Chain A
Amino acid sequence: MDVTVAVHKEGLLADVDAGRKPVTIPGLGRALRAEEMVINMGPQHPSTHGVLRLELIVDGEIVVDVIPHIGYLHRCFEKHCEHMSNYQQVVPYVDRLDYVAAMSNEFGYAIAVEKLLKIQVPERVEHIRVIMAEFSRIVSHLIAIGTYGLDMGAFTPFLYCMRDREHILDIIEETCGARLLYNYMWVGGLSHDVKPNFQEKTRAFCKYFRPKIAELNELLSYNKIFIERTAGVGILPPEVAINYGASGPVLRGSGVKWDLRKNDPYSIYNRFAFEIPVGKGIKGEVGDCWDRYMVRVHEMEQSVNIIEQAVEQLPAGDVQSAIPKRIRPEAGEVYVRTETPKGELGFYVVSDGTQSPYRVKVRPPCFVNLSAVPAICRGSMIADVVAILGSIDIVLGEIDR
């Protein structure tokens, strides 16, 4: 949308009239014009998905600029890791990065340390990890879709998503006793083996869940008002998405077919048949909010496919046989990237030969994706900022760390 802002004298009228020098807004690089207003969205705003603060420069309902402020949830994760007495102790903290998809974070960290240790985990562990990571993906996408509905003013889909999420959490709870922060994927293995009825329950879930996606589409995705609100809004062109380093559904929503599970396969993902959904601009333009949203819906279907295949092939074995008695990698470094629900999660782990990591650096997908928000938001309306932010699907636990 092209915004033409009538050029008034620089600075607020009151300031100019009183002979004061107009105050330059940091981040905007100039003083406010007479018709502009600064308004804080967050950190206690219902739609910033956590403690994010967006400083909006608005001209009436139109947003002139957006300046995100982060750091309200900073917990010194990376520094903390260096002071753990061993590598294993980092895992519970990794859970708290993207707390709605904790399994995916553990997966990346476990692979990184195993690569540093040069150990191979048993087949059964690999399969269970993939199933759990895909469960996490569905859970994360359900929350993303549900809260996106809330952002658009539709309450009911959120509760439907939470209901379906509950089925997955039940299976995970039965396996490892936790519902949100699991500490499940240990270095070299898993904390618990799955229960005997795991395969049966997972199959039942897959059978139950497919029709629920169709129901969700009927209720929300193809709702006329929802399409009006999201299609053609917040368009992120593919070049811009790549320039900003966006990944995950945000990048794929812009039509770029990039998924690390296919493009740089880790674990045993290359054994499964699944599609990579991309945004096609069916309802509006490629890379709009609806595309980003729809990529998540389709990804849930593909995750169900992967889970079904993995459950069928689940081999027998001991899930703790490869857990090292003492984790002491040789001095060296490793960078491992995995495809989490939010995008490319990278772990850069440096070992100095002692029992605790010398450095753990996280490349968080949400942080990178969030950086594209001001570029998309300029010139949109306040309601669109909510739509755009929701379609990016951020988790502040990962951005602030």
Chain B
Amino acid sequence: MKDFLLNLLQNEILVYSMMAIVPLVWVIPFALFAVWWERKISAHMQDRLGPMRTGWHGATQTIADILKLIMKEDIIPAAADSKLFKLAPYVVFGGAYAAYAVVPFSAAYVGSEINVGLFYFISISSVVVVGLLMAGWASNNKWSLYGALRSAAQIVSYEIPVALAILAVVMVVGTFDLQGINQAQSGMFWHWFVFQKFPFLFFALIIYFTASLAEVNRTPFDIPEAESELVGGYHTEYGGMRFALLFLSEYSNMFAVSAIATTLFLGGWNSPFGNFLSGPWWGVFWFLSKGMAFIFVQMWLRWTLPRLRVDQLMYVGWKVLIPFSFVLILGVGVWMLAVQ
């Protein structure tokens, strides 16, 4: 896509700006849809109807919500550190959005084709922590501070199992480039890595998915914003558009981790049926559908499970997921040596 645009426009700056905006074309409609979808899923799981008044089955509910949030008064608490308070949502969203630079939406499109894309993803997702800490600290609210510190501890801890699970795949495929990983899984669906080196990479998916739930603060690991304990966590003091931005980054993060899970384990933009229904545009379709399937599981878990306590969360991270991912890496390594 990059080469095509360069030929067409003959202007590098314009082309790179366009490339950077493409994920936004997906992220914003996705967030609008996912918020509505989550409300509908939760409602149907709970024997309710959910939003019904705005449009067909409340389809434009999120747009109405956004309009409301835009029109709200912009409140900054008197005792807050107003500069940090204003900056934090942008840092959080910036970190969340920057991850999309390496998300391969299709064989024809990836924002930046760097050969260490996975490394980039792992490191850029930590930038969000800085924003959350800023938000929690600047609010000058003890509950927000708790939320921020919890999320910092949580995201940093769970980055390790995420990285180790990713490493298992990298060992098999031998590259950090996400497009390369996609190409390695082409063919029918049993070529997907989730079915390779069975059951090691299948467990890698489980570990990655569990840890990624913690990274994006979803139930049962939604401890940083546990509303029954910490009121609202780091965004207790936020309202209006700033809150909407924090919310948007949460949803875009959800999709980012799902996209990586899709790429690593479910063949990314590959069609499940080999060359049938395959191509750049079908690639986008398969990629987004697989990502949405993960999103659905995240929502399903959220409306089913209770929340862990903060010490239990650390227990699961350090004493369960990390040792198991080491065993996994060892298993994959032994398998590969044995095959050679």
CA distance A220 to B229 in the complex (A): 19
Other than the given A154-B304, A225-B308, 4 more pairs (CB < 8 A) read A154-B306, A160-B47, A229-B307, A382-B146
Interface size class of A (residues with CB under 8 A): 20 to 34
Contact yes or no, B229 A47, CB < 8 A: yes
CA distance A57 to B47 in the complex (A): 40
A29 within 8 A of B: no
Chain A positions near chain B (C-beta within 8 angstroms): 37, 39, 45-47, 61, 149-156, 159-160, 163, 219-220, 223, 225-226, 228-229, 381-384, 386
Chain A residues with CB under 8 Å of B146's CB are 61, 382
> Given the interface contacts A160-B47, A163-B47, does A47 sit within 8 Å of B228 by beta carbon?
yes
> Given the interface contacts A39-B142, A160-B46, A382-B146, does A225 sit within 8 Å of B306 by beta carbon?
yes
> Given the interface contacts A47-B228, A228-B312, A386-B229, does A152 sit within 8 Å of B46 by beta carbon?
no
Contact yes or no, B305 A154, CB < 8 A: yes
Chain B residues with CB under 8 Å of A150's CB are 228
B226 within 8 A of A: yes
Pick the residue among B222, B231, B303, B310 that contacts A61 (CB under 8 A). Answer: B310
Chain B positions near chain A (C-beta within 8 angstroms): 42, 45-48, 142-143, 146, 219-220, 222, 226-229, 231, 303-312
CA distance A223 to B220 in the complex (A): 12
User: Majority SS of interface residues in chain B?
Assistant: loop
Could you tell me the distance in whole angstroms from the C-beta of B51 to the nearest C-beta in chain A?
15
Chain A residues with CB under 8 Å of B310's CB are 61, 381, 383
Could you tell me the distance in whole angstroms from the C-beta of A142 to the nearest C-beta in chain B?
14
Could you tell me the distance in whole angstroms from the C-beta of A308 to the nearest C-beta in chain B?
25
CA distance A37 to B141 in the complex (A): 12
Closest 9 CB pairs of A and B: A153-B307, A159-B46, A152-B306, A154-B306, A47-B228, A383-B309, A153-B306, A225-B306, A151-B228
Chain B residues with CB under 8 Å of A219's CB are 304
CA distance A225 to B220 in the complex (A): 8
> Given the interface contacts A39-B142, A386-B228, does A156 sit within 8 Å of B309 by beta carbon?
no
CA distance A383 to B221 in the complex (A): 13
Contact yes or no, A46 B303, CB < 8 A: no
Chain A residues with CB under 8 Å of B42's CB are 155-156
Chain B residue, CB-CB nearest to A154: B306
Chain A residue, CB-CB nearest to B150: A61
Could you tell me the distance in whole angstroms from the C-beta of A147 to the nearest C-beta in chain B?
9
